[in-house]
Amino acid sequence: MSKTYEYVPEPALVKGNHDFKDITAMITDINIRPTPKGWYVAFGIANMLLLLLLGSIGYLVWEGTGIWGLNSPVGWGWAIINFVWWVGIGHAGTLISAILFLFRQGWRTAINRFAEAMTIFAVMCAGIFPAIHVGRIWVVYWMFPLPNQMLMWPNFNSPLLWDVFAVSTYFTVSLLFWYVGLVPDLATVRDRIKSKIGKMAYGVFALGWRGSNRHWWNYEKSYMILAGLATPLVLSVHTIVSFDFAVSIIPGWHTTIFPPYFVAGAVFSGFAMVLSLMIICRKIYGLEDIMTIDHMEKMNIVVLVTGTMVGFAYIMEQFIAWYSGVEYEKFIFMMRAAGPYAWAYWIMFACNVFSPQFFWSKKLRRNVTFTFIISIIVNIGMWFERFVITVTSLSTDFLPSSWGYYSPTIWDVATYVGTFGLFFTFFLLFLRFLPMVAVAELKGVMPQADPHNYDEDGEFVPPKVEVPEPYKNQTNQ
Amino acid sequence: MAQIFPKWTNDAPRRILLGSIIFLNAIVFSVWYFFSPEFTDVGYAPEQPVPFSHTIHAGQLGMDCKYCHTQVEESKYANIPATQTCMNCHNQVQVQNPENVEAIIESWETGEPIEWTRVHMLPDYAYFNHSAHVNVGVGCESCHGRIDRMEKVYQAEPLSMGWCMDCHREPEKHLRPVSEVTTMGYEVENQIEVGLDLVSKHNISAPTYCQGCHY
C-alpha cells in the first residue's frame, strides 16, 4: 500500500514572469497613453446605438406603450425579457467580486474589476425597462414610497415593488464595491499620469489615497464589509426577479423552483458575458498574461456547472408539471415543447443545456475561439429562456378564447438593440479611463508578494522568486 | 511630489456627503409641501362675471343652499342656478339700483345664460357624486368651507385624494344629521357618538379602494 503523492502547485495566476512595475505599466498605461483610433470607431458605433435607444424611448414617451407588440393576452413582452436578461448578466460580476473574494479565490483578481463594471452597466440597461414601461414616465417616481398628498403608496404586497428595492439596492452596493476597489488604482494612475487635468480628475476620485498603512487597513475592512453585503445580493436579486413571475398564479410561472433556477441562469449568462468581453479585451489590450487560459478554463467550468443546473431545472419543470397532475400546468409545458413557441423552446434548450456540455473536454475548455462562440450562444439561449417563460405562459392562458400569438414590433427590437449602445458606451469609457484590472490586488496574488525569506530554521535566505509552471508541456498563450 | 489640491479639500468629501443628504431630503420635503393641492389650490378665487356675494345671500339673508343649488340631492352635480332663480327675487328686490343687478337683468332680457367660472375642480378620472354625500349627512361646509362668509367664493379645502381619504377612512368625525347638511357653522360636542350613530343608521361604508372613485 504505498503510493507516492506528488505536490501539484496551483497554476500561476500571472504568466510571463512579470514584476510589479511591469504589471502597473501594462494596465495603467492603457489609461495614460493617447486614445487609439480603434477605440473611437467602437465608441462611435456604440454612440449610434445609444442614440437609437434614446430615440425609441423618446417615441415611446410621446406615443405610449402601444408602439410595442404587447396586447391581450400577452401583456408582458420584450421589456421584461430584456430586464431579466440584463439583470441576470450582472450577477456574474457580483459573484466574482464578492463570493469568490470571501472564498479567497486568487484568480478572481484578474477579472473582478472588469466583471463588476459589466455588472453596473448591465444593471443600468436593465433598469431602463421597468422605468420606461410604465406608460406615464413622468410619474415614475410613484414606484418609490414618497410622501404625497394623494395618500398613495406602492403596493407592498407586490413583487414588482420588491424588485424596485432589490435592483436599486443591488446597483448601489455594486457601485460602491466597484468604487472602493478602484481607489488605490486611481491613485496609481494619478501618480503616473503627466497631464495636469488628468492628475486633477484621477485625484478627485482617488480621495487623497497615499497608500499609508492606515489607508490600507481601512480599505481592506471596507472591502470585506462590502463583499459581505454583496454576497446575499447575488442570491436575493434574481430570487426577487423570479418572484415577479412565481408569485403570480399563471401556470408555468407559479413554481417554487423559480428562485434557484433564476439565480443559476443569471450566473450562467453572466459568466458567458464576462467571457465574451474578456476574450476580446485581452486580445486587443494584450493582457493575455493576466487574463490567462487558466482563468478562462475556470470560468468555463462555472458555465458548465450552472448550465447543467439550468438544464436540470428545465427537465424538473417538465417532470413536476406531469407529477403535479395539474391540468393547466401540464398543458402549458406541453405547449412550450410542442406549441406555437416550440421553436423558441428548443433554441433555448440547445443553447443552454447542450452547448455548455462541450466543456467536459479540457481541450475545448482551453480553446479561446470555441469558448467565445459558446459564450455568445449561451447569452442567446438565456435571452430565449426569458422569452419562453414570459410569452408562452401568457399567450395560452386559462381562457382558450383569448389565446393569441405575440410578436414584437420594430420598436421592441430598436429599444433592445439600443441598450447595447448604452452598455458599450459606458464599457468603452471604462476601458479607456479606468484601470480594467485591479492592479493592487493582482500584485497580491503574485509570487513576489509572498517571499519566503526564512528557511524552516529561521535562518535568513536571500529572496529567490520562482514562478511555478504546472503546465510545462502545454503552451500558454 | 507637489500637492495637487489645496488643504481645504480635505473636508470636501464630508461636506459633499452631508450636503447631498440635506439636499435630497429638502427635495422630497419641497415636493411634498409645495406641490400639494393644499399649497397650490387652496384659496383659488377666480373673478366671476357677476359680483354675487354669498355673504349677503347665505350669510345675512340666511338663504338655504338648496334654494339655488336645487339639484344637489338628486344629482351628481350641485347645479349653478338659472337666471330664472335670481329673477324670482330680483324682479322686485334691488330694481331701484339697477347697476347692482345689471348682469342678470341683461341675461334675463337676452336669454343668454351667465357664464360662471368654476371654482371647485376635480380631475376627470375621479368620480364624485354630490347626492351620494349630501343624502347621508356630509355637510356643504365640510368641503366648501364657510360659504356664508365668502364675499367671493374661493376653494377652502385641498380636494386632494389624501384629503378625501381623511373622511372616507373616519366618516364619523365629519358626519351630521341630514337635516343639518346645509347648516353653516354646525358643531356638536359629542361628534364621534353622533357620527357613529349616523354611520350605522345610514349604513355608511365609504369606499377606500381604488375603484370606489376611479373607474
pLDDT tens-digit profile of A203-248?
999 988 998 999 999 999 999 999 999 999 888 999 999 999 999 9
Q: B37 and A200 in contact by Cβ < 8 A? A: no
Return the C-alpha cell found at B104.
342678470
Look-up of cell digits 378620472: B125
Residue A200's CB is within 10 A of a number of other CB atoms, namely: 13
What's the burial of B54, exposed, middle or buried (CB within 10 Å: 0-12/13-18/19+)?
buried
Q: What is the pLDDT of residue A461?
A: 72
**Does the pLDDT of residue A15 top 70, yes or no?**
yes
Task: Give the integer Cα–Cα distance in Å for A97 and B114.
Answer: 74
Residue B136's CB is within 10 A of a number of other CB atoms, namely: 18
Residue A71 identity: N
Q: Contact at 8 Å (CB) between B43 and B154? A: yes
B32: nearest CB among A148, A203, A208: A148
B162-178 pLDDT per residue, tens: 899 999 999 999 999 99
For residue A73, whether the previous peptide bond is cis, meaning omega lies within 30 degrees of 0, is yes
Return the C-alpha cell found at B168.
372616507
**Does the pLDDT of residue A410 top 70, yes or no?**
yes
Nearest 5 degrees, angle CA B175-CA B177-CA B183?
90
**C-alpha separations of A146 from A28, A141, B158 in Å:** 44, 8, 19
Q: A149 and B32 in contact by Cβ < 8 A? A: yes
Q: A191 and B1 in contact by Cβ < 8 A? A: yes
Task: Give the integer Cα–Cα distance in Å for A374 and A360.
Answer: 13
Q: A150 and B160 in contact by Cβ < 8 A? A: yes
Residue A378's Cα: distance from chain center in Å? 13
A238-292 pLDDT per residue, tens: 999 999 999 998 999 999 999 999 999 999 999 999 999 999 999 999 898 899 9
Of the residues A140, A149, A150, A180, the best mutation for testing chain B's interface (the one with the most B CB atoms within 10 Å of its CB) is A149
Task: Give the integer Cα–Cα distance in Å for B41 and B190.
Answer: 32
pLDDT confidence bin for A465, thresholds 50/70/90: low
Contacts of B59 (CB under 8 A, 6+ apart): B148, B149, B184
Nearest residue on chain A to B209, alpha-carbon basis? A152
B162: nearest CB among A149, A191, A207: A149
Task: Give the integer Cα–Cα distance in Å for A94 and A177.
Answer: 9
Chain B residues close to A145, C-beta within 8 Å: none
Q: Contact at 8 Å (CB) between A471 and A11? A: yes
Nearest residue on chain B to A152, alpha-carbon basis? B162
Residue B123's CB is within 10 A of a number of other CB atoms, namely: 9
Chain B residues close to A150, C-beta within 8 Å: 160-162
- HSE of A323, CA atoms in CB hemisphere, 13 A: 6
Q: A151 and B28 in contact by Cβ < 8 A? A: no
Q: What is the pLDDT of residue A477?
A: 44
Q: B32 and A203 in contact by Cβ < 8 A? A: no
Q: What is the mean pLDDT of residues B108-112?
A: 91
Q: How many residues does chain B have?
A: 215
Task: Give the integer Cα–Cα distance in Å for A302 and A308.
Answer: 10
Of the residues A140, A142, A151, the best mutation for testing chain B's interface (the one with the most B CB atoms within 10 Å of its CB) is A151
DSSP assignment of A389-455 equals IIIIHHHT-S-GGG-------HHHHHHHHHHHHHHHHHHHHHHHHS-SS-HHHHHHTSGGGS---B-
Which H/E stretch holds residue A217? Answer: helix A213-246
Look-up of cell digits 355608511: B204
Q: A149 and B4 in contact by Cβ < 8 A? A: no
Note the pTM of the prediction, 2 decimals.
Answer: 0.85
Number of helices (H) and strands (E), helices first, in chain B? 10, 0
Q: What is the pLDDT of residue A467?
A: 58
**Does the pLDDT of residue B97 top 90, yes or no?**
no
**Does the pLDDT of residue A2 top 90, yes or no?**
no
What is the least distance, in Å, from the CA of B124 to any CA of chain A? 15
Nearest residue on chain B to A203, alpha-carbon basis? B4
**Does the pLDDT of residue A314 top 60, yes or no?**
yes
Task: Determine phi and psi for A74, rounding to 5 degrees.
Answer: -95, 95
Task: Give the integer Cα–Cα distance in Å for A300 and A269.
Answer: 12
What is the least distance, in Å, from the CA of A435 to any CA of chain B? 21
Interface of B with A (CB under 8 A): 1, 4-5, 9-10, 13, 28, 31-32, 35-38, 158, 160-163, 165
Q: What is the CA radius of gyration of chain B?
A: 25
pLDDT top residue among A453 and A197? A197
Q: B162 and A208 in contact by Cβ < 8 A? A: no
The percentage of chain A sitting over the pLDDT mark of 90, rounded to a whole number, equals 67
Q: Contact at 8 Å (CB) between A254 and A246? A: yes
Mean pLDDT check: name the lowest of A118-127, A164-173, A461-470, B69-78: A461-470
Interface of A with B (CB under 8 A): 146-152, 190-191, 199-200, 203, 207-208
Chain B residues close to A147, C-beta within 8 Å: 28, 32
Q: Contact at 8 Å (CB) between A311 and A418? A: no
Nearest of B62, B208, B90 to residue B149 by alpha carbon? B62
Chain B residues close to A151, C-beta within 8 Å: 161-162, 165
Nearest of A23, A13, A33 to residue A438 by alpha carbon? A23
B32: nearest CB among A147, A152, A199: A147
Q: B32 and A191 in contact by Cβ < 8 A? A: no
Which H/E stretch holds residue B196? Answer: helix B191-201
Task: Give the integer Cα–Cα distance in Å for A79 and A77.
Answer: 6
The average confidence (pLDDT) of chain A is 90
Q: What is the mean pLDDT of residues A322-346?
A: 92
What is the least distance, in Å, from the CA of A196 to any CA of chain B? 9
What is the least distance, in Å, from the CA of B4 to any CA of chain A? 7
Q: Could you say which DSSP state residue B10 is in? A: G
Exposure letters A203-231 (e unless 16+ CB within 10 A, then b): bbebebbeeeeebeeebeeebeebbeebb
**Does the pLDDT of residue A92 top 50, yes or no?**
yes
Q: A149 and B38 in contact by Cβ < 8 A? A: yes
A149: nearest CB among B1, B10, B36: B36
Chain A residues close to B37, C-beta within 8 Å: 149
Counted across chains A and B, CB pairs separated by less than 8 A come out at 37
Look-up of cell digits 463588476: A116
Q: What is the pLDDT of residue A476?
A: 47
pLDDT confidence bin for A466, thresholds 50/70/90: low
Q: Could you say which DSSP state residue B47 is in? A: P
Q: Contact at 8 Å (CB) between A86 and A420? A: no
- DSSP bridge pairs for A460: A454
Q: What is the mean pLDDT of residues A363-382?
A: 94
Task: Give the integer Cα–Cα distance in Å for A233 and A95.
Answer: 9
Q: What is the mean pLDDT of residues A382-394?
A: 94
Look-up of cell digits 447631498: B20
**Does the pLDDT of residue A413 top 80, yes or no?**
yes
Q: A149 and B37 in contact by Cβ < 8 A? A: yes
